[in-house]
Amino acid sequence: MRKAVIWQRYFMIKFNQKKLIFFILFSPSILFPQSSNNLVTKILYDSTYQINISSQLPPLTGKFKIYELQNGESYSSVYNIQFFNSKDNTLFCAIIDTIFDFTYWPDFELADINFDGFKDVWTIIHRDVKAQPSYHFWIFNPQKHSFQLNKMFTDLLVCNLEINSEDSTISSGCQGGCMGFCGSEMIYKVSNNCLVLIESNESDQVEINGESKIKYTVRKLINGKMKVTEESYSDYP
């Protein structure tokens, strides 16, 4: 059974000294290097709750903040995500993700995106004119007990995601033009923390004998190569 569709890219920190933590997390020049006396900070989201990254780790307290920073005519969004050990409140690990652009409707998600039994974090870094998001994917490293930005996941997984834990696949679908009838869906198999494209579904507007049509093309991974397995047409609406 597929999980619900999720409608939702760098700086990783893990410090033990409280003074250094305070300096990094609260210094405007770190969060927003171009800061000046004109810096305006707005907290868009502020929440704290218990979370289990994995059954192999103790319970943690997650503190989640999203800032909007304005410095003159420049905007940035900052995700400040901290995880503390619930027993003694010491810092377990943290993510500061700064987006040097205005981000419409910033948000984040926690789920096991690479199917290794540990929850990961992804943050919204941009939305297109259709409000379809692109992301930064922070994958949890169980050996280092830290979240690390994954370039492959960040580059390939965009727009609307559907995660299927039963067969370890992720669908990444984007809506295009043609009154919403054109678009693409890429289905990836997750293997050893890598994404392998196994199927693509694309629809485009074409002209046949002077008439506009919608062309649907399905490609699947067969013997190591993507091959067209289905092609069909419909009238342009």
> Residue 3: inside a domain, yes or no?
no
Question: Same structural domain for residues 16 and 129?
Answer: yes
Looking at the structure, tell me whether residues 64 and 151 fall in a common domain. Answer: yes
* Structural domain includes residue 166: no
Please give the pLDDT value at position 38.
62
Out of 6-15, 35-44, 144-153, 174-183, pick the least confident.
6-15
Q: Is residue 138 part of a domain?
A: yes
Question: How does DSSP classify residue 4?
Answer: P
Residue 26 above 70 pLDDT? no
Residue 130 falls within a domain, yes or no?
Answer: yes
Least confident piece of the model among 14-18, 170-174, 225-229 = 14-18
Judge contact between 198 and 167, C-beta under 8 A.
Answer: no
- How many domains is the chain partitioned into structurally? 2
Average pLDDT of the residues of the chain:
84
Average confidence (pLDDT) over 200-210: 92
Q: What pLDDT score does 37 carry?
A: 54
Task: Tell whether 96 and 135 lie within a shared domain.
Answer: yes
Both structure tokens of 164: 């299927």
How confident is the model over 4-22, as pLDDT tens digits? 333 333 333 333 333 333 3
**Same domain, residue pair 68 and 140:** yes
Q: Is residue 165 part of a domain?
A: no
Read off the pLDDT of residues 59-77 as tens digits, 9 standing for 90 and up: 999 999 999 988 888 888 9
- Is residue 166 a contact partner of residue 112, using CB atoms and an 8 Å limit? no
Flag whether 20 is in a domain.
Answer: yes
Nearest to residue 76, comparing CAs of 16, 136, 35? 35
Q: How far is CA 19 from CA 15, 41, 60, 161, 172, in A?
A: 10, 22, 21, 39, 42
33 and 68 both lie in a single domain: yes
126 and 43 part of one domain: yes
98 and 189 belong to one structural domain: no
Final residue of a structural domain among 126, 159, 192: 159
- In a domain, residue 155? The reply is yes
- DSSP-assigned states of every residue in 79-108: EEEEEEETTT--EEEEEEEEESS--SS--E
Give the CATH number of the domain where residue 105 resides. Answer: 2.40.128
Q: Name the strands in the sheet holding 60-71, side by side, starting at the edge strand that comes first in the sequence.
A: 11-13, 91-99, 74-85, 60-71, 39-51
Q: Check residue 24 and give its pLDDT.
A: 36
| Residue 149 within any structural domain of the chain | yes
Domain range for 199 is 176-237
pLDDT of amino acid 105:
84
Name the residue with higher pLDDT: 40 or 118.
118
Last residue of a domain, one of 159, 191, 224: 159
Provide the total of helices (H) and of strands (E) in the chain, helices listed first.
3, 15
- Among 159, 193, 216, give the residue marking a domain's end: 159
Please tell me the pTM assigned to this model.
Answer: 0.80
Give pLDDT, residue 129. Answer: 82
Beta bridge partners of 108: 123
117 and 53 housed in the same domain: yes
